[in-house]
Structure 1
Amino acid sequence: MRLRRVESASCAFSVVQSTIPRDRLAASCRATWLRQPANESPDLMKPTCALTLLALTLASGSACAQGAPVYLPPTAASTALTVTPDRDDWTYPLGAPASVRVKLALDPYPAAGVTIRYRLGPDMLEGPERTAVVPADGLVLPVPAPSTPAFMRIIASADVGSQSLTTLATLGFAPDKIVPTQANPADFDAFWTRQKAALAQVPPDYRLTPAPELSNDKIEVSYLSFRNVGGGTLTSRFYGVLAVPRGAGPFPAVLELPGAGIEARTGARAVAEKGAITLQVGIHGIPLNLAPEVYESLAGGALFGYSRINLDDRENYYFRRVNLGVLRAADYLATHPKWNKQQLLAVGGSQGGMLSIMTAALEPRVTAIVASNPGFSDVTGYLNGRAGGWPALFRPGPDGAPTDAPVAAKAATTAYYDTVNFARRLRVPGFYFWGYNDVLTPPTSTFAAYNVITAPKQLTVAPAQGHAMSPEQLDMVQQWVVRQLGLAK
């Protein structure tokens, strides 16, 4: 692994240059993504699993955590389509010339005369498909330099025999200068003060149900639920899995926040075994130990597209209840009799990264955060001619018109929930990481949020990574969390 540190007046970040080929990197980590079907692409796996990986490394120091290269057998046939930028870190000054080399190899020899299809343009808005023939030494394609800080992406594909190959590369042009498009409402703080006051009017009614099947001689695990705000004047319940180290304590605490999806959970037990109280929550107001078919039915039924429910009403938008439930979960940890009153971390990836930033912005007892590829970042990007964050609100449809119309009321609501506006209000240290090739939380959106953070911050970027976590990033997260919690590695 090599690190290149990029400095500017506004931020500093490390670019991870992995020595492991991208396909082998994905293969090496596939086995430790616990909650996904085996045939699902690692780059599209739910980001909650990234924190499961974190838990695994704290517990066992897995091969992925060590960044150990995992190679395919030397006799295995491979066909590789690669797109390689002309800078190792894929990062360019604004206005600098840039190009990529497209190559196709039929193991062990380069292929010549194969026609590729490619699209080239701003990330998530790559434009029409073109074709070109790749010579044996590769095809060099110039990448137009944007006039403002941005990311440019090429997506290339080819058909070779029965194989359909697709790859991509994303180039950053002054990414540390990207500014948000999202509005910062004058009443943002007043809005959330009022929401927290509404939550305070709902008695928590904490209920713990022992989970002996998840407990051991080091930790005691329980299913936790408590009352939360609901729609209108109604209330709801919020659910989590609490793991508490045995012994008198006191202990640091970790709030683990989920990526997008609807699924069962069994707790952040490996971290708890290292000596931290952990609370892993679900956000949908349903118990976390139901049969799989229940979650599948909800995902395709009542909760399908949940991130758009009541988007035109800031008082009843889906994430109002979610955010307030997460804040009450943080309060539960901060009032736990075994908490050490010193370290309370909020950690999460994608949707969970969004929620970790929100939690630290609104809950002063949170002392640090970990956020990978935070979702809901600068979601108005698509209304301003560039990529917006997950869940791709307002992305242009085939006719060029924005989805989620009518736009005005919905865009106004997003300003009160956008990660950008919570990021502006952070006051605690944070560890952040993502890849340039992320097509779920595109880098234009995550840099828009990161660049407004004035609190202490550390960012690592693995340019070739998509929505997964590289072993190098994972190891850095492990070390950072261990330091923050004061735990033995």
Structure 2
Amino acid sequence: MSTYSPQSVKKLNFLGLLALLIGFSQLSLAQIPKQYLEISVSPDKSDWVYQIGEEVEFIVSVTQSGRPIAVENVRYFVKEEKMQSLQEGPLSLKEGKATISAAGMKAPGFLRCEVFATIDGKEYRGMGTAAFEPEKIQPTVKMPEDFEAFWNAGKADLAKIPMEAKIIHVPERSTDAVDVYHVNFRNIGNSRVYGVLTVPKGGEKYPAILQVPGAGIRPYLGDLAKAGRGAIVLQIGIHGIPIDLPQNTYTNLASGALSGYPMFNIQDKDLYYYKRVYLGCIRAVDFLVSLPEYDGQNLAVQGGSQGGALSIVTAALDSRIKYLSAFYPALSDMTGYLNDRAGGWPHIFTGNNLKYHNFPKAIETLGYYDVVNFARILKTPGFYSWGFNDDTCPPTSLYSVYNQIKAPKEVFVIPETGHWTYPEQGARSDNWLFEKLKK
């Protein structure tokens, strides 16, 4: 495991942050801005990694513009990620600093320290997460005996459906180097997949990248930058709706008809929402390989969060994918909460969700969709990246997936990051992909 200390990564300035937010937002690789009140919580080891049973000290610093500042109601909590507090209390700062000692974990996992402080009536939060032998974390989700047969049948059904692709040139968004197209094509259930296709101009044959989206409902703009580097890029949505509608349409869908979509039809593995989504990714591969500009050999898939999950799923189900890049994959070891530890997004078995979805049929269904089980059959070389401070896709769930992968793999861990990335992570992912695709 390649782990990089927080001190080794340069902080973003605001303009760099804005540029990266725009550039990576379609992949759910968002950048997080600095807070008005900066609360730094850092384990005392530079790589944040400990042996089981080893004690950890969390070093706390509370500053504004790099200087200590008077704050109110400072308190801390130490707990296994997403679990109940093991240790808590008020925290006294001396010149903006404090140290919190905590006992180590007795099993592989992550121990998190959260610190809260108030200034001008607003509360701020900082956290640091110590890893305890994460390479030994094992998943809780079970592999259905007919897992591969289930998906082979789904792919066979998909193959019977004609693609009926529609490709519409968008000249106002095209450039001297790249053509932009809005595309759509048939999927299962009489639905369609909508996306933005960007193709380098030049009349040559090119490698291709499928970009799969993070969670949510939104428009898509395409990736002209990667196309400018010499790759065909197809950026898709997953909800079977056009990707160029007014923003208020997506906002209304997110709060209305598509609110809570990760739980739709969870009681039935054949009707569950993500069956159409996963097979839609395969259909997107069908579309890409049909393009006359495709070089016929070099194809990758890339995404973050929900898109990280879809990257692994698509590569596991489709041998035409030669490389994958996944950031903090969601939908991973979702049954963790049923085993007294953190589970992956969308956190189906915790909070209010638990009382609605904790029944045998739901657990059975998720076995067919959990990324862990796709990792178990994955043969595609992959690049992965995440941090230890992720609240949305807890690192326990990420390592539950990563530790099952037998295919060639590389992980770039920046411990202090959460459900966001530094530009170095995106750049390393892109460079890794292009190095592989252009061999």
**TM-score band w.r.t. shorter chain:** over 0.9
> Are the aligned partners of 2:348 and 2:357 in contact in 1 as well (CA < 8 Å)?
no
Determine the structure 1 residue equivalent to 2:116: 157
Change (3 A) 1:334 1:140: same
Alpha-carbon deviations, 1:20-48, whole Å to 9, x = none? 576x567742443128xxxxxxxxx9672
The equivalent position to 2:279 in structure 1, one of 292, 309, 324, is: 324
- Aligned-partner residue type, residue 81 of structure 2: D
More divergent stretch after superposition (218-227 vs 411-420): 218-227
Change (3 A) 1:47 1:453: farther
Is 1:288 the counterpart of 2:243? The answer is: yes
More divergent stretch after superposition (180-189 vs 94-103): 94-103
Alignment partners' CA distance in 1, 2:38 and 2:79: 23
The equivalent position to 1:277 in structure 2, one of 215, 222, 232, is: 232
Change (3 A) 1:113 1:317: closer
Change (3 A) 1:261 1:46: farther
Is 1:432 the counterpart of 2:432? The answer is: no
Is 1:371 the counterpart of 2:322? The answer is: no
Determine the structure 1 residue equivalent to 2:17: 29
Question: How far did 1:428 drift?
Answer: 1.6
Determine the structure 2 residue equivalent to 1:189: 148
Determine the structure 1 residue equivalent to 2:373: 421
Is 1:350 the counterpart of 2:305? The answer is: yes
Is 1:334 the counterpart of 2:285? The answer is: no
Determine the structure 2 residue equivalent to 1:58: none
- Aligned-partner residue type, residue 124 of structure 2: L
Question: How far did 1:93 drift?
Answer: 1.4
Listed as ranges, the gaps of 5+ residues in structure 2 are none
Change (3 A) 1:79 1:322: closer
Q: Residue 172 of structure 1: SS of its match in structure 2?
A: strand
Alignment partners' CA distance in 2, 1:135 and 1:350: 36
**What is the TM-score with the length of structure 1 in the denominator?**
0.84
Is 1:90 the counterpart of 2:69? The answer is: no
Alignment partners' CA distance in 1, 2:278 and 2:181: 22
Question: How far did 1:108 drift?
Answer: 6.4
**What is the TM-score with the length of structure 2 in the denominator?**
0.93
Alpha-carbon deviations, 1:457-484, whole Å to 9, x = none? 0001111101111133223223212202
Is 1:103 the counterpart of 2:91? The answer is: no
Alignment partners' CA distance in 2, 1:335 and 1:113: 60
Change (3 A) 1:273 1:25: same
- Aligned-partner residue type, residue 97 of structure 1: E
Change (3 A) 1:47 1:451: farther
Alpha-carbon deviations, 1:252-309, whole Å to 9, x = none? 0000001011111121221112211111100000011111111111111110011110
- Aligned-partner residue type, residue 44 of structure 2: D
Alignment of 1:114-193 (within 5 A): 115-127=73-85, 130-136=88-94, 138-193=97-152
- Aligned-partner residue type, residue 486 of structure 1: K
> Are the aligned partners of 2:63 and 2:69 in contact in 1 as well (CA < 8 Å)?
yes
Q: Residue 134 of structure 1: SS of its match in structure 2?
A: coil
Change (3 A) 1:27 1:102: farther
The equivalent position to 2:431 in structure 1, one of 476, 479, 484, is: 479
- Aligned-partner residue type, residue 331 of structure 1: D
Is 1:201 the counterpart of 2:190? The answer is: no
Alignment partners' CA distance in 1, 2:72 and 2:239: 49
Q: Residue 50 of structure 1: SS of its match in structure 2?
A: coil
Q: Residue 299 of structure 2: SS of its match in structure 1?
A: strand
Query: Identity rate of aligned residues, in percent?
Result: 38
Question: How far did 1:364 drift?
Answer: 0.6
Q: Residue 413 of structure 1: SS of its match in structure 2?
A: helix
- Aligned-partner residue type, residue 387 of structure 1: A
Alignment partners' CA distance in 2, 1:391 and 1:247: 43
- Aligned-partner residue type, residue 412 of structure 1: E
> Are the aligned partners of 2:234 and 2:288 in contact in 1 as well (CA < 8 Å)?
yes
The equivalent position to 1:452 in structure 2, one of 404, 407, 420, is: 404
Aligned residue pair count:
438
Alignment partners' CA distance in 2, 1:105 and 1:334: 53
Alignment partners' CA distance in 2, 1:277 and 1:110: 50
Alignment of 1:261-276 (within 5 A): 261-276=216-231
The equivalent position to 1:387 in structure 2, one of 316, 322, 342, is: 342
> Are the aligned partners of 1:204 and 1:226 in contact in 2 as well (CA < 8 Å)?
yes
Change (3 A) 1:197 1:106: closer
